Structure 1
């Protein structure tokens, strides 16, 4: 092991690329970011441009190297993770045939429902519903709705695989993401070919790269072109990454049975590590060997959590608080509102529900409005809805024999003492805050160290490099008050989900805007 070795973790996030450099003891030397855009062509759709990812990644790494002031000869390896279930379609030359379909895009809800109706054994890790966010429903949607693009698409990969391709020139699939998102099960024969044929994707695995690598495995040397674009040495080793949140488990040292990661950001994820092959209705998993060989990961997630708060900030908060830190100001006012928001109840299903309902026809809601209520009340109710969504997952796990006693957190919520305390109070459990809060990029750096042979295993590297900073203890009196409002949250779902389904069917039946004749286009109106 070199005393002067450094590694880079590259996180392809929802809002931009984040690069982090660490030494082998877990000391972060520098971080850099560069943003890219998301477009929303239709309600429920979300797309990004893969070339934007690569451009942002190169800018972020170049800025990182300048900030760190470390000789590039001492940077041994780089590993890239990506947002989960962001589908990339590539032609024969490895160029995208269309914009990437972002993880939060739920256009494939109909295909996901049809897949569930097969009741195929391949669905054992998603019994209550197939997530329309995941890659296979999106590929099926593409075949059925954009056959021309489907025919031109030789390969299908995820965001992390695309970044690995740009770094190495090699087409690979990460074992991590195909296990937790593409129905791959290495313990049960790999790809479920018969299931794919049943849903109309016969032969689809021929369009998946045949090289499948585990998290932390070396892919090869960086290409000269990528090295020049990033400012790295041509001797840099590129290491296989995976799904962002699962890679973050390394950055939180959630590498042993009984430990749980709590990933917060645009979406929230609760990821318990277990040594038991146990199914929990409404929770995805258990996903075998996709982070640590021999162990399983359970997954409960919220599609829109931090993104709901971001929406409020962008459309309302900045207008209400011009000329100051709108985020801090609006959260400060929300914190002054009492628990329960004086009778306002909200649902956090703005892009559907991933767990425990796995229903992408659900929408956000708020009720209880009176003339007493202010925008601060509304924000308080929205923030509480996010915490109740997390508690709904934790309760589902506990009711099925997987109690969560503590969680190690990372992501956006760590920047707000108000949000941290609310999550601890609503859940009624301690939340551990690590020293390095950017656990996803840090997890990729840990994987990079292992792939370059600088640490012996992912377990060893995480134990050596990750350190805990503080523990947020729950206020159990507040927990009891939140529990009453949480019951309203669950009852609101029960009352409204039939109406939401009716609205979703109405949206499916309405003609798309571009299909409606317009007089200006040369049509004659009556």
Structure 2
């Protein structure tokens, strides 16, 4: 394994020996994307074309208020099933050879296991927000500024650190006596694939336990969590070969033993690479379950306008914004408000989009602030909730659908302008993810932000980012820059149109002031919500737990 550390750039270096042109012609790499609700495995050729795809669902459980959990074994089961499907799609004639596997995954989600990798508790998912008291206690102990400076992330319920404090404290205190291992999704999959307990720095940093400048787990943050270094996985740079596939894993996946497993990055960082983002001047924008955007920075910097992550390009950082209520909010509309099954979502949303195209900008006076899962940057308020203004009797579901698209776009303008103020101009947005397939949403984003919105050539940019790192490690290209150039492409471009003027007024005159005006009331409402739940729990404990469910 070559560990390039935190210095320098990977764009001019190569970890793998170069393959001949003939070897490249028959080579494919697998990008494994173990996301929140499914594992997708895509076989990419050297031109960045998807040759074969496999997919397997992962159940998401909501066992109580603010609680989001998964069975970590499902990550491995879904990875196995999806990989076998993708490999089967390559055909039996042996004309295409898998040269390497790269990993990307949902971030902040973690599991605690015993020394053999057997989960001791359900995994806590990035949306889990039961740790608000632990955030407050960590701030009291170390201070908000120190937590931000070391980890790169202002304290809030999202980083795993605070969820871990909850789990090993109020949640399941008996676990601490067992000195469990703490694994991100990448580490668990690496262990199952190779027998080596290792993860990428760009996968571990969302845990909130890293010293971002040092490139290592922080002794100070580990002490806060009550952990020692041996409870965490080994760290690699993105693009490092972790090890070869073990015999058992190879048999399960339908691949030869010894195929290199390559350290990847969290889904946000991998998506930036898969969109072709290599330097300042552009931002990637992933329209997924969460809405995540970021710009590349060659130097470590912090600001409340963003959270600082390691980029999938070794030696660089990603200044990232995150709205946790992304397409999750559209799933809420379909399942919770309209009462339709998750399997009907595509058809329902397609119908709403057709109706919404005919509505005027501003959804006929309906404005939405999309804080369905709290707000991170720039306010960092876990108690914030969604806001809708302007309801009248003429509104129908299509108005709310359009208001969600517009509200997310208006929030993205808030994020983008704050990042620009801290780090420099952003000339265009490179968009990907499931939401990027909507022409209406892409046009609204261009009109609201006033910037060209360029659709990435691959909508599954996270899996492509993992594939690019695997291709580089396997020697398909002489350096990472060449891999990015060869395997990424651009699709349609949406430029700001005549509706930009009305959206500009909607943003400046209404949207930008709504949350600041209501923040105090939202905080009081959140406190009353907690008090009401406690009162109900005392009166009837069984009635206070939500039923497990699997959203789309």
**Do the structures match in fold with TM over 0.5?**
yes
Unmatched segments (≥5 aa) in structure 1: 521-526
SS at 2:499's partner residue?
helix
Please tell me whether the aligned partners of residues 281 and 425 of structure 2 are also in contact (alpha carbons under 8 angstroms).
Answer: no
CA–CA distance in structure 2, aligned partners of residues 460 and 344 of structure 1: 47
* Cα displacement (A) at 1:452: 2.3
Query: Does 2:128 correspond to 1:93?
Result: no
Q: List aligned pairs for 1:34-433, cutoff 5 A.
A: 34-69=56-91, 71=94, 74-117=97-140, 118-124=143-149, 129-145=154-170, 146-152=172-178, 154-185=180-211, 187-188=213-214, 190-197=216-223, 200-209=224-233, 211-285=234-308, 287=309, 290-316=311-337, 319=340, 325-433=347-455
SS at 1:79's partner residue?
strand
Counterpart for residue 4 of structure 2:
none
CA–CA distance in structure 2, aligned partners of residues 248 and 14 of structure 1: 15
- Superimposed CA distance per residue, residues 414-473 of structure 1 (whole angstroms, 9 cap, x where no aligned partner): 211011111111111011122222111111111111222333333221122112222221
- Greater mean deviation of Cα atoms: 275-284 or 417-426: 275-284
- Superimposed CA distance per residue, residues 156-191 of structure 1 (whole angstroms, 9 cap, x where no aligned partner): 111121111111121113211233542423533733
CA–CA distance in structure 1, aligned partners of residues 221 and 88 of structure 2: 49
Please tell me whether the aligned partners of residues 283 and 299 of structure 1 are also in contact (alpha carbons under 8 angstroms).
Answer: yes
Q: List aligned pairs for 1:5-44, cutoff 5 A.
A: 5-44=27-66
Change in CA separation of 1:326 and 1:386 when aligned onto 2, cut-off 3 Å? same
- Greater mean deviation of Cα atoms: 254-263 or 231-240: 254-263
* Cα displacement (A) at 1:72: 8.8
Please tell me whether the aligned partners of residues 97 and 152 of structure 1 are also in contact (alpha carbons under 8 angstroms).
Answer: no
**Aligned alpha-carbon RMSD (Å):** 2.5
- Superimposed CA distance per residue, residues 198-254 of structure 1 (whole angstroms, 9 cap, x where no aligned partner): xx4244434212x21111111111122211111111131111122111011221111
SS at 1:371's partner residue?
coil
- Superimposed CA distance per residue, residues 39-89 of structure 1 (whole angstroms, 9 cap, x where no aligned partner): 111232211111112111111111112222163981111112110100111
TM-score normalised by length of structure 1: 0.91
Higher relative contact order, chain-length normalized (CA < 8 Å, sep 6+): 2
* Cα displacement (A) at 1:17: 0.6
Change in CA separation of 1:519 and 1:284 when aligned onto 2, cut-off 3 Å? closer
Unmatched segments (≥5 aa) in structure 2: 1-18, 544-552
CA–CA distance in structure 2, aligned partners of residues 27 and 330 of structure 1: 32
TM-score normalised by length of structure 2: 0.87
SS at 2:400's partner residue?
helix
Please tell me whether the aligned partners of residues 265 and 312 of structure 2 are also in contact (alpha carbons under 8 angstroms).
Answer: no
* Cα displacement (A) at 1:393: 0.3
Change in CA separation of 1:348 and 1:153 when aligned onto 2, cut-off 3 Å? farther
CA–CA distance in structure 2, aligned partners of residues 324 and 134 of structure 1: 31
* Cα displacement (A) at 1:131: 2.9
CA–CA distance in structure 2, aligned partners of residues 519 and 8 of structure 1: 45
- Greater mean deviation of Cα atoms: 273-282 or 49-58: 273-282
Please tell me whether the aligned partners of residues 116 and 123 of structure 1 are also in contact (alpha carbons under 8 angstroms).
Answer: no
* Cα displacement (A) at 1:354: 1.7
Aligned length: 514
Please tell me whether the aligned partners of residues 265 and 413 of structure 1 are also in contact (alpha carbons under 8 angstroms).
Answer: yes
